[in-house]
Amino acid sequence: MFDNLSEKLDKAFHILKGHGKITEVNVADTLKEVRRALLDADVNFKIAKDFTTKVKEKAIGENVLTTLQPGQLMVKLVKDELTELMGGDATGINLSGNPTVILMSGLQGSGKTTFSGKLANYLKTKKNKKPLLVACDIYRPAAINQLHVVGGQIGVEVYSEEGNRNPVEIAQNAIKHAKANGFNVVIVDTAGRLAVDEEMMNEIANVHKAIQPQETLFVVDAMTGQDAVNTAKAFNDRLNFDGVILTKLDGDTRGGAAISIKSVVDKPIKFIGTGEKMEAIDVFYPNRMSERILG
Ligand code: GDP
């Protein structure tokens, strides 16, 4: 994961590790390389710039030039700042409702349906919950079938209404069904489009308003870099969602989305998707991620 970024950061620190005596110029050069590595990973320019400014201030504050191992201290400062940028502490999922209602949002192809299944499976097997999956994509019958296939794989019931063209009604009926049948989590999978459009936003905003979910999650493909961040902003402006799900982190992604998204929308990444299988879901821990990036 993020191999290219790890390699470049490692190279940046070589500048410091190779010197007997460290100068301000060496530190500045290292930070320049760190910034370049972030930009190459598709981190937004302003975020990368602020990042290195903050690390520089801390390096001055900690008198990096006079420490015995300035290279190691710089790695630590960068690691801490990366953790902070990605959200600090891990944020759990709010399971307070009865039933807990979770609304999934995101573009078509982002991995929403797959993740809905993964989350249901996670809650069932790890949190001892009885989830219900709800198919609210009224445009693509294939999407409804896909959710039924996923539900079948993990042994979770899927609620759908053939012929009903009103996603608000389907979601509301599903919650009634959940209450009547002892389901304590309802995961509502909604229709996505290939790009942000008004109709999709209105539809999901209406569903959101009608069912008042405890958790509104925004699913985004990590491979899409800066686009992921822009899409997150558009969805957050309408839905004020609670958390982000970054999918496809098993692919050849550069890391920009994972690093930038929190600071742009000020919402935590809650889970990551790391494969197509139902088990390929992980809670997102910012510190573990920066540990991985910096080795
Ligand atoms: P939706 O249109 O948002 O519901 O997206 P889907 O759930 O149908 O996912 C789109 C494609 O991405 C499918 O082929 C999934 O198997 C794949 N996919 C979803 N999540 C992941 C992931 O974490 N890793 C990988 N490699 N593929 C994923």
Q: Could you give the strand order of the β-sheet that contains 131-135, starting from the edge strand earlier in sequence?
A: 158-159, 131-135, 185-189, 100-105, 215-221, 243-247, 269-273, 281-283
- The predicted model gives 70-98 an average pLDDT of 91
**Averaged over 160-182, what is the pLDDT?**
97
Long-range contacts made by residues 32-40, C-beta under 8 angstroms, separation at least 24?
33/8, 34/9, 34/78, 36/8, 36/12, 37/5, 37/8, 37/9, 37/11, 37/12, 38/5, 38/259, 40/4, 40/5, 40/8, 40/254
Per-residue pLDDT of 118-136, as tens digits, reads 999 999 999 999 999 999 9
Q: What is the pLDDT of residue 1?
A: 79
- pLDDT tens, residue by residue, 138-163: 888 899 999 999 999 999 999 999 99
pLDDT digits (tens, 9 = 90+) for 201-238: 999 999 999 999 999 999 999 998 889 999 999 999 99
Residue 89 known to bind ligand: no
The whole-number pLDDT of residue 98 equals 92
Nearest CA to ligand 1 atom 9: 111
pLDDT tens-digit readout, 260-291? 999 999 999 999 999 999 999 999 999 999 99
Angular region, 240: left φ>0, alpha ψ -120 to 50, beta rest? left
Output the pLDDT for position 34. Answer: 96
The pLDDT of residue 19 is above 70: no
CA distance 197 to 192: 10
Q: Is 292 annotated as a binding residue?
A: no
192 annotated ligand-binding residue = yes
Minimum-distance ligand 1 atom for the alpha carbon of 146: 8
Which amino acid would we find at residue 109? Answer: G
Q: Does pLDDT of 18 surpass 80?
A: no
User: What is the average pLDDT across 247-251?
Assistant: 92
Q: Which of 1, 114, 196, 272 to mutate to test the pocket of ligand 1 (most atoms within 8 A of CB)?
A: 114
E strands, the chain, in order: 100-105, 131-135, 158-159, 185-189, 215-221, 243-247, 269-273, 281-283
- Exposed, middle or buried: residue 66 (CB in 10 Å: 0-12, 13-18, 19+)? exposed
| CA of residue 111 to ligand 1 center, whole Å | 4
CA of 58 to the centre of ligand 1 (A): 40
Characterize the bridge pairing of strands 185-189 and 243-247.
unpaired
Query: Quick one: which of 147, 134, 131 has its CA closest to 185?
Result: 131
Report the separation in Å between the CA atom of 114 and the middle of ligand 1, taken as the mean of its atom positions. 6
Mean pLDDT, range 112-120, rounded to an integer: 98
In this predicted structure, the answer to whether residue 109 has a pLDDT above a threshold of 80 is yes
Q: Is the pLDDT of residue 91 over 90?
A: no
Q: Both tokens of residue 182?
A: 């002892």
Binding site annotation covers 248? yes
CA of 238 to the centre of ligand 1 (A): 24
Alpha carbon of 277 to ligand 1 centroid (Å): 10
Which residues are CB-contacts of 76 (< 8 A; sequence separation ≥ 6)? none
| Average pLDDT, integer, range 169-198 | 96
Structure tokens, 33: 């390389």
pTM confidence score:
0.94
pLDDT bracket for residue 46 (50, 70, 90)? very high
Q: How far apart are CA 24 and CA 27, in angstroms?
A: 5
Q: Is 110 annotated as belonging to a binding site? A: yes
DSSP 67: S
